[in-house]
Amino acid sequence: MSAPLSIKWDDDVEDSKVPIEIPIKPQNGLLKIIALLILVGGILVFSIGALAFMPQEVPPDFYEEQANTMNTAGQNVTVEEVQQFFEATEKYADIQRVIEVLAGIGLIAGGVMLYFANPKGIYVGTIGGSLVIVDAIIITVGLSAVETESFVLVASGYMLQGLMSTCGVFCTVLPLLPLFSSGLKAALNNHSELNPKTIESDDSSEE
């Protein structure tokens, strides 16, 4: 009598990585829109800093006129409070002007680089946007020294701070978008119509 037939299964499974090419269309148009937005923000920030370098003389009765205007609107503000507020906003004016000019240059350069699909624009634009945030922090430090109960003065000061903070966050996030979008990243890496992306998938073979 012959021995029973035995079947031997090979439990050793070899994993093989097979490259699969998935075409990703570069979003060139969206990249250019983002670059133009960064460019516009850079021009605005640069203009604010550059115009601040122009000499401006404060009229002798400026603070009194501002106080009278606010009191007419129902506020109880003294001339000293108005003067303190404006002096606080100008306390770090020289530093702010330099930061705003540098931030504007960084944003303009980053926007131009991204418009022409240069990946370096991501880092240059991000640095420019970060400087705008630093400028907003300096404004906050200056406003913290103001002692007044006037809602108008406090609100106007923090509106300026909020505007610069929003601009800073906006101009910092925009250059980073290509890092999180495959289409934008493809537009930076390749100017062709389609950019193949290689994805490794694991296939199991059984013997």
pLDDT digits (tens, 9 = 90+) for 129-152: 999 999 988 888 877 766 666 767
143 contacts 89 by C-beta, under 8 angstroms: yes
Among the listed residues 48, 63, 146, the one whose alpha carbon sits nearest the alpha carbon of residue 99 = 48
pLDDT for 152: 72
This prediction has a pTM of: 0.72
Q: Which of 13, 40, 47, 29 has its CA nearest to residue 117? A: 29
pLDDT at 194: 36
Confidence tier at 190 by pLDDT (50, 70, 90): low
Q: What is the mean pLDDT of residues 93-121?
A: 92
pLDDT at 34 over 80: yes
- Please write the tens of the pLDDT for every residue from 49-106: 888 888 777 676 777 887 887 777 777 777 887 777 777 777 778 888 899 999 999 9
